[in-house]
Amino acid sequence: MEEQRLNQLYNLILNPGTRQWEREQLIQAKNQWDEQSQATILAQLEYTLRPLALRGTLTPDVHDFYFTQLRGEQKKTIDSKPLKESSSVYEEAIFAGGCFWCMVEPFDTYPGVINIRSGYTGGTTTRPTYDQVLSGEGGHVEAVKIIFDPTQLSYRKLVELYFDVTDPTDAFGQFQDRGPHYQPVIYVANLTQEGIAKEEKAKLANSSRYTNPIVTKILPSGPFYEAEAMHQDFYKKEPKRYRQIKRTRNQLQRFNLWRQKRKR
């Protein structure tokens, strides 16, 4: 059975109909096959694919693999609304803006957002842990990767929202989150994203919203390492704790804006 699953992983990875994001998750599972217990690897893969499976937006072969091999259920048909042709290509946006616990919920309810994962990026360490990132080892920052459908939600809108929920004038952290691993960074995947990010940054700099310089970095995206399971969808798992953290963050954001307006 395990050999059959591994063969199916290989076939799905090589299948031209598999979307790039799905292929990345399958490759990650395959690469870890000899390093972890197979049950743990398959459980993590099931957890990662679950949001798309529940929305009926996995490609057909991955959909079948999810339910028959990861869930152990009978083969299911995708009877939700049919996928549009343009939905075969999703895009990614990677943002760092302080603790990733607070960077999921602001984006998660927008139509067109397919999935959001918390993780680490921008550093040199391979597969860093939360403790390593917190200590500064490897130079990673906490970030979120947003998988979105560009036919429903534009990258520009995501960048606008990002600037709304962060402090682009603070290079040494975000609100109550201090340290280089909390610095604000937009990681761009291509020249189009880079151009949009720079335009929105310039627009913000030329507005009257802030008096201090806009210091948010715009850097090329690199490897993104998903954080441990406990950090995924934190606002859903720990709603009371999240509300307290969000309240403090919002209060500091309002105070920072008020303080800068006083300088005018």
**In-domain check, residue 51:** yes
Q: How confident is the model at residue 254 (pLDDT cuts 50, 70, 90)?
A: confident
Cβ atoms of residues 210 and 204 within 8 Å: yes
- Amino acid at site 96: A
Q: List all residues 6 or more positions away from 157 whose beta carbon is below 8 Å from its beta carbon.
A: 110
| Average pLDDT score, the chain | 85
Same domain, 56 and 138: no
**What share of the chain has pLDDT > 70, as a percent?**
90
Q: The domain containing residue 7 runs over which residues?
A: 2-70
Same domain, 95 and 59: no
**In-domain check, residue 85:** no
pLDDT computed for residue 34 by the predictor: 66
**Mean pLDDT, to the nearest integer, of 87-96?**
82
Which residues are catalytic, by number?
99
Tell me: the pLDDT tens digits for 204-240? 999 888 888 999 999 999 999 988 888 888 898 888 9
Phi, psi dihedral angles at 232 (to 5 degrees): -80, 135
- pLDDT at residue 82 is higher than 50: no
- Laid out side by side, the sheet with 113-121 consists of 217-220, 185-188, 91-96, 141-148, 113-121, 224-226
- pLDDT at residue 55 is higher than 80: no
**In-domain check, residue 257:** yes
Same domain, 110 and 220: yes
**In-domain check, residue 84:** no
pLDDT computed for residue 181 by the predictor: 95
Same domain, 102 and 38: no
d(CA 178, CA 184): 11
Whether pTM > 0.75 for this model: the answer is no
Highest mean pLDDT among 24-33, 41-50, 180-189, 221-230: 180-189
d(CA 142, CA 177): 11
Q: How many domains does the chain have?
A: 2
pLDDT computed for residue 29 by the predictor: 87
Same domain, 21 and 116: no
Same domain, 129 and 214: yes
- pLDDT at residue 75 is higher than 50: no
**In-domain check, residue 82:** no
d(CA 173, CA 184): 7
Q: List all residues 6 or more positions away from 230 whose beta carbon is below 8 Å from its beta carbon.
A: 237
CATH for 203: 3.30.1060.10
Q: How confident is the model at residue 95 (pLDDT cuts 50, 70, 90)?
A: very high
**Mean pLDDT, to the nearest integer, of 178-204?**
96
**Which structure tokens are listed for 120?**
């680490």
Q: How confident is the model at residue 262 (pLDDT cuts 50, 70, 90)?
A: low
**In-domain check, residue 76:** no
d(CA 162, CA 175): 14
Higher pLDDT, 60 or 235: 235
d(CA 152, CA 116): 16
